[in-house]
């Protein structure tokens, strides 16, 4: 392993495997919605295609006779093991809008972490209080001064963006473990008529019209936040805008747990077993130990955040009202 601090994401790019082709300058979320004719069942199918295709692609890489090793995030490795490079600091500053999971989703996510950690003890796990879903990455890998300049432009629009979920309520369902050579996550699909299972949100306390049917999907929310940022005068500089709604659960810090074909097969089997359990015991199930439905904005609105936040860090600029 070289000494350059290359983030694993740069080596393991999150491609859009949904089949949607974007035109230059197009709002990527609007493009997907248009391709699906605004039908939430079709939008869910696009998200499904992306995560199934990506898991199949990554499984092939793990099980290949030509396996070339995991993609270890050298930034995280140095932060977790400071003896490698004493005094190392992550200088990549970002500007984002996050959705924070409600308590019952955090409980599910930490349970999934425990199941996988039991099989692969060398994993780095995202702390529960740092878990997040990136609704929109506005800018990444900038200097603090560059982020401050962007914030000065965006600041007037931030209150309307972080509070947007209070009146635009989308649902995510059907959690599944997604993975690649650098990390693993729990991913969700935009709802399309599944039964309501999570604790019921508070009734709207506003005179504004509240959108809370499945026809308004999480992808619509991402489209609207994208447009609001662009409308404020900033060009969105996301690394990717794929049809994925995921909370990163953990990353790999070394090759030792995956350095033989047998270990890699065991890792893939552990993920397959967890996903079978999720589909059997959590998807669309009421009265179980875990709830797999997430109403985005419940308990907390969106969160505008900046700083060195790659692994859940940084600071809150403003948090929106929950419901």
- Residue 184: which CATH number? 3.90.1140.10
Is 15 contained in some domain? no
Torsion angle in degrees (nearest 10) through CA of 313, 62, 245, 284: -120
Distance between CA atoms of 155 and 99, rounded to whole angstroms? 18
Is 11 contained in some domain? no
**How high is the mean pLDDT in each 10-residue block of the chain (323 residues)?**
42 51 75 93 96 97 97 97 96 97 97 97 97 97 97 98 96 98 98 91 74 94 97 91 94 97 98 98 94 96 97 97 93
Q: What is the pLDDT of residue 148?
A: 97
Let me know: does 164 contact 228? Beta carbons within 8 Å: yes
Q: What is the pLDDT of residue 208?
A: 76
User: In this structure, how many other beta carbons lie within 10 angstroms of the beta carbon of residue 32?
Assistant: 27
**Beta strand pairing call for 93-99 and 303-307:** antiparallel
Give which of 296, 259, 292 is closest to 162, Cα–Cα: 296
Is 12 contained in some domain? no
Is 10 contained in some domain? no
Let me know: does 43 contact 192? Beta carbons within 8 Å: yes
Q: What is the pLDDT of residue 15?
A: 54
DSSP per-residue codes, 251-270? EE--SGGGSSHHHHHHHHHH
Count of structural domains within the chain: 1
Q: What is the pLDDT of residue 313?
A: 96
Is 8 contained in some domain? no
Per-residue tokens: 24:
């230059």
Residue with tokens 């493009």: 31
Is 231 contained in some domain? yes
Residue 299 domain boundaries = 24-319
Is 17 contained in some domain? no
Sequence-distant (6+) residues with CB within 8 A of 101 are 109, 131, 132, 133, 247, 294
Is 192 contained in some domain? yes
């Amino acid at each position: 392993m070289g000494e350059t601090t290359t983030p694993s994401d740069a080596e393991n790019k999150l491609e859009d495997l949904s089949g949607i082709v974007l035109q230059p300058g197009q709002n990527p979320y609007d493009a997907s919605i248009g391709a699906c004719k605004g039908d939430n069942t079709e939008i869910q199918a696009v998200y499904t295609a992306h995560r199934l295709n990506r898991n199949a692609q990554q499984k092939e890489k793990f099980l290949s006779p030509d396996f070339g090793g995991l993609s270890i995030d050298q930034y995280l490795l140095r932060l977790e093991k400071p003896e490698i490079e004493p005094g190392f600091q992550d200088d990549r500053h970002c500007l984002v809008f996050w959705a924070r999971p409600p308590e019952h989703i955090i409980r599910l996510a930490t349970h999934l972490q425990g199941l996988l950690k039991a099989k692969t003890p060398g994993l780095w796990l995202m702390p529960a209080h740092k878990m997040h879903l990136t609704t929109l990455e506005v800018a990444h890998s900038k200097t603090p001064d560059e982020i401050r300049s962007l914030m000065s432009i965006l600041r007037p629009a931030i209150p309307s963006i972080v509070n947007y979920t209070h009146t635009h309520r989308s649902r995510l369902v059907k959690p599944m473990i997604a993975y690649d050579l650098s990390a693993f996550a729990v991913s969700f699909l935009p709802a399309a008529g599944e039964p309501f299972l999570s604790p019921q949100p508070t009734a709207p306390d506003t005179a504004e019209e509240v959108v809370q049917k499945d026809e308004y999907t999480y992808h619509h929310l991402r489209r609207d936040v994208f447009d609001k940022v662009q409308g404020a005068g900033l060009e969105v500089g996301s690394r990717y805008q794929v049809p994925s709604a995921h909370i990163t659960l953990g990353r790999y810090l070394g090759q030792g747990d995956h350095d033989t074909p047998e270990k890699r097969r065991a890792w893939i089997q552990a993920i397959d077993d967890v996903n079978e359990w999720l589909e059997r015991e959590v998807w669309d199930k009421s009265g179980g130990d875990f709830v797999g439905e997430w109403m985005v904005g419940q308990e907390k609105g969106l969160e505008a955040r900046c700083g060195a936040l790659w692994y859940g860090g940084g600071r809150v600029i403003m948090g929106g009202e929950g419901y």
